Amino acid sequence: MERITLVRALVTLVVIFTSGCGAHIASVPTLKMDQALLIFHNQLPHEVEVLYTSDYCYKCVYQSLVHVKAGYNNASTVINTKFTLSVQVESNKNAILCRWNQAYEEGGHYKVWILRSDNASNATCLHAVGRGPHNSYLPILVAALTLAITALLFVVAPYICRKCRTSKFVKTTCCRSPQYSLDHDQVHATQAEGSATKVKYKRLRSLDVFRGFALTVMVFVNYGGGGYWFFQHAPWNGLTVADLVMPWFVFIIGTSVVLAFRSMQRRGVGRVQLLQKITWRTAVLLTLGFCFLNYSPRDGPRRLSWSWLRIPGVLQRLGFTYFVLALLQILWGHKENQQKEGHWWSPLQDVVLYWPQWLTIILLETLWLCITFLLPVPNCPRGYLGAGGIGDNGLYPNCTGGAAGYIDMWLFGDNMYRYPTCKEMYHTTQPFDPEGILGTINSIVMGFLGMQAGKIIVFYKEKNIHILCRFLVWATILGISAAILSKCTRDEGFIPVNKNLWSLSYVTCMGCLSFLLLAGLYFITDVMSWWGGQPFIYPGMNSIFVYVGHTLLGFYFPFSWEMRFRESHWEWLFQSLWGTALWVIVAYLLYRRKFFLKI
């Protein structure tokens, strides 16, 4: 019986392939990036419905994909290829005939034959590839290889030049150390140049490089990242490259506050002057966020309305976070950074001496936890952290973000971000702002971790081993905390890693990565001087100019243009890299002219 069924299925496939497919395939739509064509052939005597859900979508309700009429009828649909799909075929009586999981690839044409089975309540779904997909990752592999070769040339070329310059001295000089020159005048010139260099690079180079690297990634991500999903924000829980940038900036703000305020306090700047400075800087950042980044000239005057204005924003959060961190530093930050032995808490002096700051941060985090898990939200379960919409089996469609979304809606109404990252996948209808009020509390906590990094650098000045060990200890503690809170899963943890909510596990995870990255850069650039930080140091020293500039002008020629080839990632990736490179070049030219936009 099984042999007869198999032969019948094979004969049916041959008949369908040779007769019924040609007319339908001739009218297939043009596929764009991250799309594939799925063609269904129904051999059953009744109509079927094909439903789907993304495996990235947590406990999502199946959505209708296409209906296929009875009796050798065909139907095609375009599907998204970013994530693995779960597909099931149902009869008109809602009985599941067959189900499968598959990661479809970009540009491919896939065929599914729905055939009769010996079991009346079931069916057989056979799959075949009509047209092979193309390699969607080839553009980024080529780009990565090109950038690697370019970076290598920039490293090797100066080294060869230095060797060529010193070869004459090697021939005419014996047993001379590389630090000595041939004549007395050149010795003085070298010493003068060295002293000038020391004055010029008195700043912590690794911090500028860290800031510039984060800003460069941000510009690339804002240009679309070539259209790749991992260069865009995660739909809800989880991490992508785009989710790393914002907390890096907040971490850097905290470190910069400690280093800058210590320098100003040593110059005799009083508390009142410091308070005036941070108030002015916060006001400027808030103004930039409200006036410039909510409006682009291409929007036209009709977009200038209160109903459209987004109140929370990136610069608004950075400004407020900076103000709180700076206030903590003004009130309780100017401790004498001299190590004192003989106390039980001596190994923890860089923490214990600033106990009022730590107490404030612990109270803020307790407030976040209490509001998040104890605040009653209408028609939502207490402590809900999901995306709502069709997630969680569709039980809480209007609960996007739980308490965080509820507070923002109560304060701002519709004046929030109306296209959250969860909207497309989870089919949400509520606006949700990733820079909302509740998440700002954890933004302050993230910045305070950066302040701790600054205190370590100041406290253990010129003791590089101590600094690096402290960074690694903090990275380990935060990494273990993130693993426990998230249970090393994307959706099943006590507190999932979530950039939209700025969850506690997200802060600890990003704190771990920030300490590791700063430790690596500090070792390479400041301790060993193996790398000068180029080209990231240039945008890192002019971050406000590059950020505001690319936000206002980044979507005009020559930084970007209207793309014509939308079938693959080639043009979009080239445009993203081109626009990012131009802003790095602009930052380099400003660096050469010693122009730095400060607030």
118: left (phi over 0), alpha (psi -120 to 50) or beta: alpha
Contact 450, 251 (CB under 8 A): yes
The 3-state DSSP class for residue 432 equals coil
DSSP string, 310-348: --S-HHHHHHHHHHHHHHHHHHH---------SSTTGGG
Residue 466 among the catalytic residues: no
Adjacent-strand bridge partners of 89: 50, 98
How many residues in total does the chain contain? Answer: 599
Contact 514, 248 (CB under 8 A): yes
- CA–CA separation, 444 and 442 (whole Å): 5
CA nearest to 410, candidates 436, 389, 384: 436
Cβ partners under 8 Å of residue 130, min gap 6: 21, 25, 37, 39, 109, 110, 111
The 3-state DSSP class for residue 237 equals strand
CA nearest to 398, candidates 387, 383, 411, 413: 387
Q: In what order do the strands lie in the sheet with 85-91?
A: 63-68, 48-54, 85-91, 96-102
Contact 262, 458 (CB under 8 A): yes
- CA–CA separation, 497 and 487 (whole Å): 10
Q: List the helix and strand counts (H, then E) for the chain.
A: 18, 8
- CA–CA separation, 106 and 181 (whole Å): 61
Contact 100, 54 (CB under 8 A): no
- CA–CA separation, 238 and 500 (whole Å): 10
Catalytic option among 233, 427, 550, 569 = 233
175: left (phi over 0), alpha (psi -120 to 50) or beta: left
- CA–CA separation, 349 and 337 (whole Å): 9
431 secondary structure, DSSP code:
-
Provide the annotated active-site residues: 233
